[in-house]
Chain A
Amino acid sequence: MKKHIFLTSFVFAFIAEITMLVIFAVQKTGNWQDSVMVNEIVQSVKENWDKIEDYKDSTGISYTVIDNGGTVLYRTGAGLSESINEAVIHRDTILNIEKDGIIAGKVIIYNNSAQEIKLWKHKVFTVMLAAVFVQFIICLVYIIYLEYIIIRPFYKMKSFAERIAGGNLDIPLEMDRHNLFGAFTESFDIMRAELKRAQAAEAEANASKKELVAKLSHDIKTPVASIKAASELGAALAGNDSVRESYLQIEHKADQINTLVNNLFTATLEELKQLSVAPCDIESRELKEMLEGSDYLHYADIPVIPECILYADKLRLQQVFDNIFSNSYKYVNTKIDVNVLMEEGRLKIIIEDYGGGVSEEELPFLKDKFRRGGNVKDIEGAGLGLYISDYFMREMKGGLVVGNGENGLEVTVVIPLSGGI
């Protein structure tokens, strides 16, 4: 609809412009002489020839009256031709005044066509300028409209897609049905929600598998312990060396099974180590955009970031910030303070909410695997966010420090400067 408004108004302005041009092209410019008025002038001059010095013109036309000797007898105003020569140059109309059949003098009617043309040109210029200005305004409004309807939503979607690629499915895509991407936006967000659900289901399935492995390992360990105990007893009571050797062999194999079961359990928890972290040099000014992207509810004022080159994996760092902000949104939902500190070759981003923090007993375990704080209630979560964030930051040779600040939980993201370590 809006596109049609633009096209209609643009075509309308264009047609108006063409119409104006046609009107001006066919319009008479007033470059003609009123012969009746001219005759009237000649007639009245003739009648008043003897008292020409007292003569008063009533036609409003500019002219000069001269006698045969070239003397100006009368003129309606200044700046008019005062001789035949001047009149010829200026293309004025020259008429004879006949008195008693003899030419007594001449009336020079002023030719004002140059002024008329000048006026006409000025009019055309003003109208064309106005039309071009209107077209410019229409284009400008349309460009601004395109910026809002296409470019901004496109960049929003780009950042959204990067988050999805980075595995962050928590942050929804703002929907706006008024822009061209409205329908896509909704579909993308549905996709995100579906992916999140699928991921949660997968995590649940994995957790069940882990539970199964844990249960099986426990179940296997019990009979293996019995076999070990029985073989120990058998070895102690064996009548000859060969039998004792066999019992010891059984005991040794039981130990091996125990170790393998332990390894199997540990291996399931070590899967996290598969997440790759590839730090490189990035400019600190990129942090501001990342923090603003993570704080999508705009609870924080992002401060000025000191200029420097950092050594970090942008994707993983964004995930760390996303995790910290989404945790704060989920568990306390208060305003957030963000402060920046540069010290000892590191840049520290200190993020603190106003939720009162966590108990001192819980603090040391917050970054542990599958560990969640006492304030989780029935809020969805796996207890892996801070564990993974901490892992990412350590891989970047930085760190993640969790503590209680003055107002709430304070998470400090420590990012190394390039060459600072």
Chain B
Amino acid sequence: MKSPVSTAQYGRLLITYLKPLKGRVLLLVLLVLVGIALQLLNPQLIRRFLDGVESGQSLPELVWTAVVFTGIAVTAQLTKLIGAYVGEVVAWRATNELRADLALHCLQLDMSFHKAHKPGELIERVDGDVNLLANFFSQLIIQLVSNFLLIVGVLVLLWLVDWRIGAAITVIMVLGLVTLNWFNKRLVPRWQALRQVSSDLFGYLEEWLGGTEEIQTNAAAPYIMNRLYGLMRERWHKMQRAMRLNFGVMSLPTLIPALAYIAAYLWGAKVYTNELVTIGTVYLIFYYIDVIKGPLWVIQRQVQDLQQAAASMNRIVELLEQQPTILDGSQDSLADGALAVRFETVSFSYADDPETLILDEIDFTLAPGRILGLLGRTGSGKSTLTRLLYRFYDPTVGSVCLGDGNGRFHPLPDLTQATLRQRIGMVTQEVQLFHASLRDNLTLFNDTIDDDQILAALTHLGLRDWLNGLPAGLDTALEAGKSLSAGEAQLLALGRVFLADPGLVILDEASSRLDPATEHLIERALDTLLAGRTVIIIAHRLATVQRADEIMILENGRLLEHGNRLDLVQDKQSRFYQLLQTGMADAVLA
């Protein structure tokens, strides 16, 4: 467990994001204070009115007092409204800034971080938690602080009227707030339990809805229905438990004013009959008690939200404190042209499972311009090997180097990551798409690449006809998993890499089968893309293996075989030869 985040860290976070909005924040504070002042001032006019009636003031005087009262009431509301507006602006500006920083921070963290945190979870951090925080800025703080100030203001005024009634109501209020706090503390775990069972219920429903085929063919409906009944029953019980306690909280805004009223009845009867105060003053007490009724409701509701916001803040600060373990190098250029690759006794295991060697003493060199076909079963370490080249991870033992055309090798940690990623292109099995135009998907939002360059690249790759077949050309809006077939997605990925013009291409071929036309397009595009570059192919098709100059076979993380493809094809002892012969090729490649 990590230690809880300190108040100082909260403070730093708030100051960082509120500082640029100084002016607005000041305005906000001012508006809140004016609103409170008006709310405190106004009841005095009722006193004046009632005392006026009692002392026989003229009618116009009375009406004037009533007009002023109404005017102040309207002004107070307007102030509140403008305050709310400014509050929203401040909240959204501040949290948008935080959202962007947080998202960038997450993107810059290592792949091991992304392996451990699913996209849904990160959406929850970057948007869900930050939203709660926005609510915290715009509603909670303002409302809680202003309502608290209002209560304090009322109490001070009551003390000024008569210390006895002031003291009585202060005691009642303090007791009330202490009780409220007592209830809230015990309520929090109950609400959490309710939220948990509720999210379980709908989580399971979603799973079951995705598994209707399984449920039908296993005749599992009675079992699943029983699970559903159980979850719904539990939700009911948790709700009952929470609401029983919550009733205590809900009763306080009724109970506190009632006790205050009783105090006021007794006090008023005593002082009024002794002619120590006017009738207007007695009524003033009741009116002030009513003024604090509203704030009690608000505080009652929002103290709980406050705890939620604190939890969000905790998670955000924690996330911001995560540091990438892969540190940037300093060398920011690599010679143009094809790159060489060298693995020097590289071993690798994931940090969370150091026992299992994913790669075990891999040693090889690939000369510039050569094409390496990488074979092996799922889990043999092929993908990991390519990920090390990208420094998604650093090897546990040994080092990975890139060589320029002049025979110099540079260990990857010496290079900046920007350089590394500019010079290596990658086509993954599953092409990751954005909900954006085809153009943005090709350039990855790089506006400096103009349409002519994109079109030239596509023409070069033989994809112009394909492009012309799309409904809106480069403006075609893409949707992940929907608008492109697996083959088309591959084409797009090839275009991406070609535009980046790297010296080393890593190609993890899609294992899904493609229609012949698309396959043909891909073959042609590959001819162009791979020419003059160093290439590592994780191949799934025999046709692609045929492109390779060299073949490397991995098994359980070890290098089983590495040699020229043509030599291996001739060598009857080689694993590659056996693979081709025994008809198992489709199996290993699939």
**Are A and B bound to each other?**
no
